[in-house]
Amino acid sequence: MRLEILQVPGCPHVALLEHRLENVLADRRLEVRISHRVIDDPADAADAGMTGSPTLLVDGADPFAVPGLVPSVSCRLYPAEGGGVGGAPSVAALRQALHTAAADTVDEPADGRGNCCSAGTAAESPLAGLGEWRDAARPQTPAERAVHHAILRAFANRGEAAEEAELDSVAAEFGEPGRRVLDRLHAADVIRLDPAGRIASAYPFSPSPTPHRVRIGGGAVVYAMCAVDALGMSAMLGVGVVIESADPVTGGRITVTVHGESAVATPATVVVFVGAEAGHGPSAETCCTSLNFFTDHATARSWADEHPQVGGIVVDLADATRLGATIFGGTLTT
């Protein structure tokens, strides 16, 4: 990530901006390059996009731009926390701006991957594409694995997201701040964070209601990000689960009981549509709303015909269950 501070000579507010950036970056493991450009000519200010000093550019863009600001070599004022104005963006505003920029970087992968269900060079179908995408989104370090496991077990045991203090305690065992580990998991699409830094999804779990409600072993009730995620929970946790969902076309009730790689559904004709919208992005945004249960092939094809922007295939319940087990089966043991 490139941060460039545009300033007039001797700007008194640059030190404040630098101090607040240090606070934001202290608990984030981001590759950041910070540079300064001193500008004292209005024409140069217009060329650079400096609408007062200091102006912070994040990867070449001003995240704090507002209508009515014009290029200038004068002082720039920003909204302050609690009201009023100040000479630099607040810590909270900076944190959100960098979080958004980091998420945008993930949404457009540099390695040329497609979305989570697209058929890439090694993937011959959306099934293989989804499997490869999720397999690539794995924790890489012991701290990441420990925090990730704590997140998943909180959902499985309590049906809710882990508290930040709980995750801080886990990360501290590895000498890292919890926030830094969470940011790395977010960047790798292992989990997703909202702009406030809260857990928005932890595949296969969603902290907010979705169409797929899952009862785990007669205990906690959780929501799954998608149909395949719901089907993979049993293999991940080693217990049976009961899924309640509905056909997006007819609204017909669907119940699926899963034990590992085996599933029985009511009605027995249940199928799963596996697909995604065209483009790049994390699974939560490109796949999850498109991986649904349907009562039969006819309603699944009807839905697909009405959503031509979503590419994918209809698969039987057995294949979808095996896919879920393959994706999530070893998640808590690796």
Beta partners for 17?
Answer: none
Residue 245 has pLDDT above 60, yes or no: yes
Among the ranges given (10-19, 53-62, 287-296), the one the predictor scored with the smallest mean pLDDT: 287-296
pLDDT for position 233: 97
> Is pLDDT larger for residue 59 or for residue 265?
265
pLDDT confidence band for 28 (50 / 70 / 90): low
Enumerate domains of the chain plus CATH numbers: 2-107 (3.40.30), 111-137+203-334 (3.30.450.410), 138-202 (1.10.10)
H/E stretch holding 301 reads helix 297-306
pLDDT for position 26: 77
Is the pTM higher than 0.85?
A: no
pLDDT for position 114: 42
Q: pLDDT tens for residues 255-303?
A: 999 999 999 999 999 999 987 654 445 555 556 677 899 999 999 999 9
Q: pLDDT tens for residues 91-138?
A: 888 887 887 676 555 444 434 334 454 434 333 455 555 555 565 668
Residue 172 has pLDDT above 70, yes or no: yes
108 to each of 180, 245, 275, 312, 334, how far by Cα in Å?
21, 32, 19, 21, 27
pLDDT for position 93: 86
Q: Are the CB atoms for 204 and 234 separated by under 8 Å?
A: no
pLDDT for position 128: 54
pLDDT for position 103: 58
Euclidean distance between CA atoms 309 and 304, whole angstroms: 9
Q: Which residues fall within 8 angstroms of residue 300, CB to CB, at 6 or more apart?
A: 271, 272, 273, 294, 314
Euclidean distance between CA atoms 140 and 109, whole angstroms: 18
pLDDT for position 283: 56
What 3-state DSSP class applies to 312? strand
CA gyration radius, the chain: 23
